[in-house]
Structure 1
Amino acid sequence: MKYILLALFLGFSIFVSAQNTIKGTVTDPTKNTIEGVMVSFPELHKETTTNEKGEYSITNLPSGNFTISFSHPNFDTQSSVIAINKEIVLDITLEEEHTHHIEEVILSTKFNKVQSQNVMKVEHSSIKALQQKGAATLIEGLATIPGVSQISTGTSIGKPVIRGLSGNRVLVYSQGVRLENQQFGEEHGLGLSDSGVESVEIIKGPASLLYGSDALGGVLYLNPEKFAKANTYQADLSQKYFSNTMGSNTSFGLKSSSENWKFLVRGGYNSHADYKVADGTRVTNTRFEETDAKIGVGYANSKFSSTFRYNINNLALGLPEEVGDQTTKRNPDFPRQGVLGQIMSLHNTFFLKNSKIEADFGYISNKRKEFEDSNVPLLDMNLQTLNYDLKYFLPKFGNFETIVGVQGMNQTNDNLGEELLIPNATTKDLGGLITTNYEWNKNVIQAGIRFDSRTITTENHGVIGEEGYFEAIDKQFTSFNASLGYKTNLTEKITMRVNVASGFRAPNLAELTSNGVHEGSNRYEIGNTNLKNEQNIQADLNLEYGNEHFEVFVNGFYNHIANYIFIAPTGDVIDDNDVYNYVQDNAKLFGGEAGIHIHPHPIDWLHLTSSFESVTAENDNGDNLPLIPANKWNTNVRADFKLGKTVTDGYINTAVETTLAQNNISPFETKTLDYTLLNFGLGGKITFGNFKFETTLNANNLLNRNYVSHLSRLKADGIANMGRNIILGINFNL
């Protein structure tokens, strides 16, 4: 498969192009030129920065109407649509900063608008910002974003939770393709490293219109790191040390670009011993080792662009069961998992006269092995997925922008081990959509409809009436979905977004076919072949106010899910294990997030941010849903500073995370006490002559508080979360 994709990539690269160029100068209101302004075409994935004279130039541009964006940390972002034809001179004046936000281009919502033009409220954060918060892993960093949590098993296994929904209800995209890695398993984490990831976008709510099945609860969209700017070369080396786990993280990257060709390579290695709780005891077998490598090759001219990326991730992790042997070994003991994940993606854009076509292809391989007491795997699952996403951006008609698309997936699961969690199976998806964006003045309306079909076929396995028997099934699930959103500026400083959208999720293989003891939960689980689609409709309201020194936001949502799938006890016992089966009932979730950001004048270097988030989730019978995060309140005080030419982009921040008690629990959970954590961070860019580097110092759980997260799977065994963790990081741009 990879050779076919590479051949397509090289074959598409023979297009010949004309030369369209844009250039100009960027100044402030006093006509002084501005150095370091980011000038970008989000739809074309082209960017540059102004030089010391405030000048910029971008070549090899296609003809047509495209959005150009000018952004700088000290000035308000300015965006506009311009017609590209031959050579254009565009001089820009940027106003002094009022909102303290650089507007980011949102790639997960198809139209690729900057946030102020977007109908949907999308949470965006750079990986660098998450790392400055001291996150040890990618999922830990994501859990610091309001409305996002994680279900964790130690430090190596984390599953994203968006507004109370998780597992197959949250779709993850990496390198522009959907990640498929046996998400149904309780002990199956993301299997992704933050090495080589530029930023993250989170859609909190149904996104089935954009992505089909499994986007019922939201989308986690990981943007890969950008290539080097044209005619430049970059290299970097970073190293981190984690005191609690005696862990280390190493990453090395190299990238270079010409006018047309782009290339990058990155490697990373992550190694951690068992983590310590507050009393100094190590939680046995929470250790893990991870090796990650990424490559990217890109080609672009004024008629065509193509990007090929490849990621391989090898993860060896322990499966903790108790607090036992105290050791600082890195190699996981039994039971353990070995997970080898590979992602190949090919993104192509064809620029036509007044329109464009995007064609994305992806291949994902996930090989997961579980070892109980020997090096012979009892569980050996091989999941292979091929998907495609074709979109035609119709010629713009007045203020209307329209996309017609077709998406599909072909997936096979093969079992090679003695133990089976799910049978051998084939899953096929096919979906079609049309969505339109209409913008006028400060108003935007976006609407769309979509139809999807998923077929699941499995093989017969085992002996009828015995554990491990799987009856062959051949099921088809279909769904129509739609969304409607409206964004407007109520006043010059108040923005409102209202969205209503539906989503769906077809039952996964575990829910349909399970028949045996699930070791992770010590219960006998029985699937249900009569399960229907989960179908939801959610209403969202987002209000934002911002002036020069104060910002506030309020997000509210109500989510109704028909045929919500959950597991419940039958009252029977098999081989000393309680029997549970999968059933359905309607459910509702509601809540939201609210927050403020204060940066008072004249001390603009001081920032106070505070946010509160809450989710309530119930079945129609009144029972609370399981694995719902507790209400949380986070407050952060940050000071930016500069010490001459030696320290630039310096910062020091203190964060207080207060998690309230979780008393709204399902019948199979126990209540969780409240706790407060104090975190500290310090960092900046250091320059000594020609020697430059960036450094960060973080102290998480500074007071060494003993606590248990409600979403920790070790909670049932009375095992606390991590104690104090000091993280020292250093990065060299070579």
Structure 2
Amino acid sequence: MKLYTCLLLVFMGITTASAQNIVQGSVTTKETNQPLPATIYIPQLEKGTVATLDGTYEIMNVPTGNYTIVFSYLGYATVSKKIKVSKNTSATEDIQLAESAVEMEEVIISTPFHKLQGDNVMKVERVSVNELLSKGNTTLAEGITNIPGVESISTGTGIGKPVIRGLSSNRVLTYTQGVRLENQQFGDEHGLGINSAGIESVEVIKGPASLLYGSDALGGVLYLNPERFAASGEIKGDIQSTYFSNTLGSSSNGGVQVSGEKIKFLARGGYSTYSDYETGNGERVTNTRFNEKDFKTGVQFQNEKVKSTVRYNYNRSNIGIPETIGEQTTDKELQLPYQEIDNHILSWDNTFFFDNSSLDVKLGYQHNDRREFEDHHHHEEEHEGDHEEEEHENEDHEGEEHEGEEHEHSENEPALHMKLNTINYDVKYNLPQLGNFETIAGVQGLYQTNENFGEELLIPDATTFDIGVFATTHYHLEKIDLQAGLRYDRRTIESDAAGTPSEEGYFAALDRDFNSFNAAIGAKVDIANNLITRLNLASGFRAPNLAELTSNGSHNGANRYEIGNPNLTNEQNLQVDVSLEFANEHFEVFANGFYNTVNDYIFISPTDQMIDGDIVYSYEQSDAKLYGGEFGLHIHPHPLDWLHIESTFETVTGKLNSDEYLPLIPANTLRNTLRVEFNESRIFSKPTAFVRLQNTFDQNNSSTFETDTDGYNLVSLGASNVFKLKMVDLKLQLSVTNLLNEEYTSHLSRLKPDGIFNIGRSINGTVKISL
């Protein structure tokens, strides 16, 4: 404790004596005018405080400018207010909060104007990671499937790729630490690659977001918000561990936060390890085991002129690649084949404050080192068995030595070894507010190199350069909010030749340019006090990736030979989104619908050729369309405000213009949840319990080389509570997933063609201690 105190004094002592801009005021209840210890937060500054017991608050060192300030407290409706802070003055904002059983609203960070969910023109889903993982999900990729309209393409429990309204892979961007994640996401066996420890919340933009994020945001954006720094003058620490009975797995992490007035620091480390998962019929799926090490840290400096944040994340993932159900074991040591992946993410986020405007400058560097280990000797025996007799006849002593060296190589060196280095830049200027207009202009892009070091190549060595310029504006009226923007992007891809032109596996050199104009326009209308509607029209684009352009070889994970198409053009789409939302004190209902047309949709299709025993697949293009939506209701009836009845339904259909169905389209799903939240007491804090029934329907709308999938029903339940002890808060959480041990196969499981079921029943327990 003395060490914590000394660190805090050091951070606080760095603050220099100077004139300060201060935001202050009081928070009271609207009904009785009683003081509230509410949370006050300025999202643009990542700065906030908690009101005292008498309801007063004070935020110091606020830069000159215009800001949104958010007031929230559990059981009361969240309120956001615009404030203007002048130089060397104090701004006073007194607020009254009205009682409400609706959950507290949060500020949306993934869209440019930092609005509350209810004020945003674009419909964005936001949910805390704690809430996602409280359902008993093993990984973040699995947890996001609880968000309506979001699913995951899975290979066992260790590999998951996000799917937003039927689009996935390079059509969905993932952002972490404010920079786009680049980790060879084109591959089927390449998962999300982000550990949930140190991630505070997830935001999902469902639909084209190329205006804000450029190429690859054609299908949407998964935006991961890192954990916040502690409030000024605070020291925090916590340690958490979760056990999963199905995989005999555990996931533990611990973190510390120390904050002064101007300098803040945090660090968090975690480790997870899992055995092969067990299906509902009692079989363990061989080599679905995996383990992960993760470390995150950050430092932030802020005064009245600048806010500068440096964050770093190192992640080592060791992931088994399942091929069949073999030896039944609970061993955690990986077997061949498996992946070993190192990911380094360094970000530097700066905001420079001027009198009536600000400049945001983000720089990022990522290094992805991907290694895949395979049993080469075994693989060659399978595919070259026809020539085995001839090879033995010609074998000599030198050949025997070579074979020994090759076997040693397959055990100790990766067959596939790729290093991807990416530099990201993102510069945005927040122009001075002109009347009711808020406007942002910016430039974004990346410089990326891919290098191969293994004997196998999936994609050639290549360099990618990307730049985009854009502007967007928001116009606010009393009942109507309008938003519009325009963007231009240019991407250059150059790859080196590899191999011998007359032999299989040859990669020809490539030099291609892609460019696109995109626009978006949207409106949010307050039809009545409790009824709002949103209408958005947006275009998006995606330049083809290296695999689609250049592939020429066997893809062992997918059991096929892939041939790229160097003549592919941009995918270009246009999507219409309509939403209607009604909410009062005890009832909420929403309906979201979309229609998405994609010109020159890129897809892979089997041919009638065979190479080395594998079917040849080639990349083609055709126009396509996707349509569907999400619907839901939330009932918390008076006077039973502790009772919550929630229901959501999601559906999506995807077709080529030939009327053939698109691959990897999730089945229709209905989720019904009964949740109870009891009142806090002196000892108990946030006691909750839930039971959920998920009905996934038959998926008979399969592509020509997919199989249909039967529907299934999953029951889950759980409970949690935080015990307030003298020096610490103790959180206990218990959940059971797939309670009835159902034997089922998800339509998006890559193990489906082998008849392998998904995970069976799992009992999961979490213990968290917070200082």
TM-score normalised to structure 2 length: 0.92
2:94 & 2:612 partners in 1: Cα distance? Answer: 76
Structure 2 runs not aligned, ≥5 long: 1-13, 376-410
- Contact kept, 8 Å, 2:700 with 2:709, in 1: the verdict is yes
Residue equivalent to 1:150: 152
Paired AA for residue 673 in structure 2:
N
Residue equivalent to 2:180: 178
Residue equivalent to 1:309: 311
1:433 & 1:494 partners in 2: Cα distance? Answer: 32
Paired AA for residue 65 in structure 1:
N
Q: Deviations over 1:503-541 (max 9, x none)?
A: 000000000000011112211111000000000000000
Q: Could you tell me which of 511, 517, 520 is aligned with 1:483?
A: 520
1:602 & 1:280 partners in 2: Cα distance? Answer: 45
How far is the alpha carbon of 1:645 from its aligned partner? 2.9
1:161 & 1:29 partners in 2: Cα distance? Answer: 43
1:699 aligns with 2:736: yes
SS in 2 for 1:130: helix
Paired AA for residue 97 in structure 2:
L
CA distance 1:691–1:258, change in 2 (3 Å): closer
Residue equivalent to 2:538: 501
- RMSD, aligned CA: 1.3
- Contact kept, 8 Å, 2:27 with 2:37, in 1: the verdict is no
Q: Deviations over 1:282-339 (max 9, x none)?
A: 1100000100000000000111100000000000010000111111111211000000
1:91 aligns with 2:128: no
Q: Give 1:48-197 correspondences, 5 Å limit.
A: 48-85=49-86, 86-97=89-100, 100-197=102-199
- Contact kept, 8 Å, 1:239 with 1:730, in 2: the verdict is yes
How far is the alpha carbon of 1:194 from its aligned partner? 0.2
How far is the alpha carbon of 1:29 from its aligned partner? 2.4
1:702 & 1:285 partners in 2: Cα distance? Answer: 24
Residue equivalent to 1:10: none
- Contact kept, 8 Å, 2:516 with 2:541, in 1: the verdict is yes
1:220 & 1:557 partners in 2: Cα distance? Answer: 18
Residue equivalent to 2:759: 722
Most deviating of 146-155 and 29-38: 29-38
How far is the alpha carbon of 1:713 from its aligned partner? 0.3
1:515 & 1:257 partners in 2: Cα distance? Answer: 53
How far is the alpha carbon of 1:89 from its aligned partner? 2.5
Residue equivalent to 1:9: none
CA distance 1:584–1:303, change in 2 (3 Å): same
1:412 & 1:462 partners in 2: Cα distance? Answer: 19
CA distance 1:235–1:529, change in 2 (3 Å): same
SS in 1 for 2:146: coil
- Contact kept, 8 Å, 2:683 with 2:723, in 1: the verdict is yes
Q: Could you tell me which of 469, 472, 478 is aligned with 1:432?
A: 469
Paired AA for residue 282 in structure 1:
R
How far is the alpha carbon of 1:90 from its aligned partner? 2.1
Residue equivalent to 1:670: 707
1:414 & 1:20 partners in 2: Cα distance? Answer: 50
2:718 & 2:16 partners in 1: Cα distance? Answer: 49
1:572 & 1:16 partners in 2: Cα distance? Answer: 76
Q: Deviations over 1:522-576 (max 9, x none)?
A: 1111100000000000000010001111100000000000000001122112222
Q: Deviations over 1:143-189 (max 9, x none)?
A: 11000000000011000000000000000000000000001100000
Residue equivalent to 2:385: none
- Contact kept, 8 Å, 1:588 with 1:617, in 2: the verdict is yes
2:720 & 2:31 partners in 1: Cα distance? Answer: 33
1:366 & 1:487 partners in 2: Cα distance? Answer: 40
Residue equivalent to 2:503: 466
How far is the alpha carbon of 1:31 from its aligned partner? 4.6
Residue equivalent to 1:343: 345
Residue equivalent to 1:548: 585
Q: Deviations over 1:375-431 (max 9, x none)?
A: 210000000000100000110000001111000100000000000000000000010
- Contact kept, 8 Å, 1:687 with 1:693, in 2: the verdict is yes
2:485 & 2:234 partners in 1: Cα distance? Answer: 41
- Contact kept, 8 Å, 1:17 with 1:301, in 2: the verdict is no
Residue equivalent to 2:484: 447
- Contact kept, 8 Å, 2:680 with 2:686, in 1: the verdict is no
SS in 2 for 1:722: coil
Q: Could you tell me which of 250, 253, 258 is aligned with 2:252?
A: 250
How far is the alpha carbon of 1:15 from its aligned partner? 11
How far is the alpha carbon of 1:33 from its aligned partner? 3.6
Q: Could you tell me which of 643, 646, 650 is aligned with 2:683?
A: 646
2:37 & 2:465 partners in 1: Cα distance? Answer: 48
1:642 & 1:396 partners in 2: Cα distance? Answer: 43
Q: Could you tell me which of 625, 629, 638 is aligned with 1:588?
A: 625
- Contact kept, 8 Å, 1:61 with 1:301, in 2: the verdict is yes
- Contact kept, 8 Å, 1:344 with 1:362, in 2: the verdict is yes
SS in 1 for 2:25: strand
Paired AA for residue 47 in structure 2:
K
- Contact kept, 8 Å, 1:558 with 1:590, in 2: the verdict is yes
Paired AA for residue 706 in structure 2:
E
Q: Deviations over 1:667-688 (max 9, x none)?
A: 0000100000000010011235
Paired AA for residue 211 in structure 2:
L
SS in 1 for 2:528: coil
Residue equivalent to 1:5: none
- Contact kept, 8 Å, 1:15 with 1:304, in 2: the verdict is no
SS in 2 for 1:129: helix
Q: Could you tell me which of 269, 272, 282 is aligned with 1:270?
A: 272
How far is the alpha carbon of 1:101 from its aligned partner? 2.5
1:532 aligns with 2:579: no
SS in 1 for 2:421: strand
1:508 & 1:16 partners in 2: Cα distance? Answer: 54
SS in 2 for 1:364: strand
SS in 1 for 2:170: helix
How far is the alpha carbon of 1:69 from its aligned partner? 1.1
- Contact kept, 8 Å, 1:284 with 1:321, in 2: the verdict is yes
- Contact kept, 8 Å, 1:151 with 1:713, in 2: the verdict is yes
Most deviating of 633-642 and 33-42: 33-42
Structure 1 runs not aligned, ≥5 long: 1-12
SS in 1 for 2:499: coil
2:680 & 2:311 partners in 1: Cα distance? Answer: 40
2:681 & 2:593 partners in 1: Cα distance? Answer: 44
1:628 & 1:317 partners in 2: Cα distance? Answer: 25
How far is the alpha carbon of 1:646 from its aligned partner? 2.9
CA distance 1:676–1:17, change in 2 (3 Å): farther
CA distance 1:16–1:371, change in 2 (3 Å): farther
CA distance 1:385–1:523, change in 2 (3 Å): same
- Contact kept, 8 Å, 1:206 with 1:503, in 2: the verdict is yes
- Contact kept, 8 Å, 2:728 with 2:770, in 1: the verdict is no
Paired AA for residue 284 in structure 1:
T
How far is the alpha carbon of 1:80 from its aligned partner? 1.2
Residue equivalent to 1:8: none
1:723 & 1:135 partners in 2: Cα distance? Answer: 12
Paired AA for residue 328 in structure 2:
Q
- Contact kept, 8 Å, 2:359 with 2:429, in 1: the verdict is yes
Paired AA for residue 688 in structure 2:
Y
Q: Deviations over 1:33-60 (max 9, x none)?
A: 4443110111111111112111111000
1:465 & 1:615 partners in 2: Cα distance? Answer: 44
2:677 & 2:737 partners in 1: Cα distance? Answer: 20
- Contact kept, 8 Å, 1:153 with 1:713, in 2: the verdict is yes
CA distance 1:644–1:258, change in 2 (3 Å): closer
Q: Could you tell me which of 398, 420, 426 is aligned with 1:389?
A: 426
2:240 & 2:260 partners in 1: Cα distance? Answer: 25
Give the fraction of aligned pairs with identical amino acids, expressed as a percent: 53
Residue equivalent to 1:207: 209
1:631 & 1:725 partners in 2: Cα distance? Answer: 24
Q: Deviations over 1:614-641 (max 9, x none)?
A: 0000000111000000000000000112
